[in-house]
Structure 1
Amino acid sequence: MRILFLSYWGLNDGLTSSTVFPHLRLLQERPDVAAIRLVTVERGADVQAELPFNPGFAPDKITFEPLRSRPSRNVILNKIEDFTRFPGELVRQVEEFKPDFVLARGAPAGALAYLVWQKTKMPFYVESFEPHADYMRESGVWRAYDPRYLFQRHWEKRQKQLALGLMPVAENYRQQLIKEGVRPERIVTVPCSVNAAAFAPNAESGTRVRQRLGYAAPDAMVGIYVGKFGDIYYDQEAFDLFRSAADHFGPGFRLIILTPNAEADVRRKLAAVGLGPERVFVTKAPHHEVPDYLSAADFAFAPIRPAPCRLFCSAIKIGEYWASGLPVLVTTGVGDDSAIMEAEGGGAVFDLSQPGSVPAALTRLTALLREPNYRARIQELAVRHRSINRAREAYATLLPVGKIAKPAVA
């Protein structure tokens, strides 16, 4: 097989490191895969940059060819230009590389794969398939009349109809797709995988980080948040949540924030809720440093903004938290994970629309932290629910293209 693997994220994006590269390694291991071309979408500073590709792959099997977005002051015009220009560039790559199919990572990449199908009838699959258009609208990022929303929603409908296989990230969404008429044998649930060994709790690393940050006091209770503020995540509400945790755990509470958001903005919002630099460490950490910071923490935050379609998502950060043995303070209705938290003790669920929900969740979290060997027990959740083997099994079921005679919808 020859596979054109299409990612909507850039080569240096943390999501590429955490979600794309592990799947490329799985495909690389298969003896029936002759060649893979990784195609990423580059924006911002990386558009003009040299992009060395050497993440430990076999150079005779995996090559790299980026799509470079042309910067524009108007984000809508920029996206329109991307989706009018990139399909032609991808058609050229298809003609040159001669893949057997396109494997798209995420619904926006799936939209590009569909647009290539329009021109070439090149078969395609979509993994990490989610209702991206509804995510963005329900989060307030896109409006119902936004061209990005209207086009993406249409393209997702066509992906459901024409993709040879779909790999949603939540069982909740698999069931929804079946209700919509997608044939069940063409759908395999693959939650966002995590390398449990790479994120396993390391007491020595955690101690070193605590000492470096000045969090080594015996009464220190360290929470951690990894990710953005805003869009599909809470913004001001997240800082109020941090304040609630500080009030609950008392003077020993400390917080680590690893975020791409501007540090000055984060510090300003922390100060507004009474959390100064003596209690909070803020930085933008490369993905390979995240496990050490997680090892230094006692629990983690996942303040994902609730929305009806959030039931269909799978947050990579939750898998990484679990792999590090951390109980998670999470919003209700997040993919399959919120239910797993409640049923299997992987954290505590809160709902800001319900008075008293946050104090109750913090009390539940405290009980989990008092359990002996809680980290080892929670780490097993990552092994059970977020193993890379789920992707391996999905590929074995759906690939190669020769196994499939019909598109996904009956």
Structure 2
Amino acid sequence: MKKVLALTAIEAPFRSRLIETQFFDSLVRARNLSNGRWQLSFLSVIPLTFYLGRRNPWRQYVKNSNQNKTLRSNLSSKGVKYRTSLAGFPLLPRQFNLRKNETALFIAAALPWLTLKLSFLKPDLIIARSYPAAVLAWWAKRVLNIPYLFDLRGMYPEESVNAGRYEVNSPDHLFWKDWEKKLICSAQYCVVVSRPFVEHVLDIDPGARVEMIPCCVDPGKIRLPDKKKTKAKYGLDDRFVLLHLGSFGTPGDRGLVGKYLLRFKEVRPDAVLVVASGTAAFGPAIRKALLGEGLGPDDFRIYHPAGSELDDMLALGDAGLILERKVANTKVCLSVKLGEYLAAGMPVICTPHVEGVARLVEKYRCGLVVDPDQEEPLEKEGGLLAGYGDCRNNGLKLVEEILSVDRCADKWRSVIDQGLKT
């Protein structure tokens, strides 16, 4: 039986819902669909300092170790091994976006132990999630002749620019653009989340084998409480709720959702903005940005949901927002929240700059594409409200045909099967 190893690096899967839902779950389902043709295991290269906390390192270490054990136990119950390999570098989470010199330190810290583990595990194929993991997989291919699939997830060089780690066309940026081409050209297959991302990869290497596997959603796990009761619970009876779920593309996008609310209120005066942010520390900055756009205290609510409260947020929403201004990586993005909004029965409102989302919204007619920074006719919003029921049904169709975890898992199975044959 062939062995497939899924590799992550400079991430902490034991505290990342994103890795669990978008990587682990999909690949486990793909393994189940393979009818025993290959076995799956996971290996995470985790910097030691990611286990620690600044205020109470020992308590945080115990907490993260227990979470890691829980993750290992959950995967083991599904017949999947989960292993970790500790690295002495990077030291800080923000160094996930590595500079040139930091990349050399990361490789020196991670590669020796990883090579030993791979020599023992002897996988037939590596699935590398993100650019740092792919760098390790590239070296493993050179040293041990193990082929790899490259799961790009996002445009790492451009995301690092957005994170303030370096400037466009700086030596660090150009270093990673060179690595990007090298990783794509050397991979058996590339996996990306959107159609514009496919085009980006083919611009780099016209001969690349690339598959679009979008951020997925499991409709069966979205169990919403009663909408009317939930709105009453949060004091939003008879309000039309525009929901922003999760993080913002850039800090400047915080004000953009407020700017759009003012536009939408011209059509629905009872509209209110709900921002559901998972990071409480960002609350004051979000509030400041919204007030800075001219919103009043009754125009918005900011929540930091945890656990079942996330279902409450989805139940509150009448339309989901994916509003981002144009930056270098916006074109290829396809957010996890797209599937969550649609599976919860919400039409989606996005900017044209988020082209991966916008193409699907326009194709399936499950929302509207609008730029709040431009003067566009309000007939767009009027059409959304008039055809609200059709938009909801079309969104559910998009989930079923493209975004469901079962569809994505089947695509993973196909790509892995092809990678093992090559």
Smaller-chain TM-score bracket = 0.7 to 0.9
Offset at residue 325 of structure 1 (A): 1.7
Structure 1 residues 181 and 272: CA distance shift in structure 2, 3 A: closer
The answer to whether residue 405 in structure 2 is matched with residue 381 in structure 1 is no
- Indicate how the Cα distance of structure 1 residues 319 and 145 shifts in structure 2: closer, same or farther if over 3 A, else same: same
Matched with 2:4 is 3
Shift of 1:151: 3.0
1:177/1:45 CA distance change after superposition, 3 Å: closer
Output the CA distance in 2 between the equivalents of 1:382 and 1:43: 38
TM superposition score normalised by structure 1: 0.83
RMSD over aligned Cα, in angstroms? 3.2
Amino acid at match of 1:96: F
Query: Is 1:228 the equivalent of 2:251?
Result: no
- Aligned twin of 2:332: 312
Within 5 Å, which residues of 2 pair with 1:318-333? Answer: 318-333=338-353
Instruction: Please state how far the C-alpha of 1:259 moved relative to its aligned partner.
Output: 3.7
Residue 220 of structure 1: CA displacement?
0.9
The offset of 1:214, in angstroms, is 1.2
| Corresponding residue of 1:282 | 302
Structure 2 letter corresponding to 1:187: V
Give distance in 2, aligned partners of 1:250 and 1:178: 46
TM-score with structure 2 setting the length = 0.81
Matched, 1:209 2:230: yes
2:274 matched residue in structure 1 = 255
Give yes or no for contact 1:17–1:287 (8 Å, CA) kept in 2: no
| Per-residue CA distance 1:368-395 (angstroms, 9 max, x = gap) | 43xx364333222111221332342342
Matching residue's letter, 1:183: G
Measured against aligned partners, the alpha-carbon deviations of 1:342-372 in whole angstroms (never above 9, x if no partner) come to 2322211123553236x45434433343xx3
1:91 matched to which residue of 2? 115
Match of 2:58 in 1: none
Contact 1:53-1:64 within 8 A present in 2 as well: no
Point out the structure with the larger helix share: 2
Letter of the 1:54 counterpart: T
Does 1:114 find its partner at 2:117?
no
Deviation of 1:124 (Å): 0.8
Residue 298 of structure 1 and its aligned partner are, at CA, apart by: 0.2
Matched AA of 2:12: G
Paired residue for 1:34? 39
**Matched residues in 2 for 1:43 and 1:251: separation?**
50
1:197 shift after superposition: 2.3
SS at match of 2:68: coil
CA–CA distance in 2 between the matches of 1:17 and 1:311?
25
Could you tell me which residue of structure 2 aligns to residue 197 of structure 1? 220
Deviation at 1:132, TM superposition (A): 2.6
For residues 20 and 331 of structure 1, what CA distance do their matches in structure 2 show? 27
Work out the CA distance in 1 between the residues paired with 2:16 and 2:93: 21
The range that moved more, 227-236 or 324-333, is: 227-236
Kept after mapping to 1: 8 A contact 2:149/2:419: no
Instruction: Give structure 2 stretches of 5+ with no counterpart.
Output: 53-60
Percent identical pairs in the alignment equals 18
The residue type paired with residue 365 of structure 1 is L
Identify the match of residue 258 of structure 2 among 239, 244, 248: 239
2:330/2:354 contact within 8 Å kept: yes
Shift of 1:301: 0.8
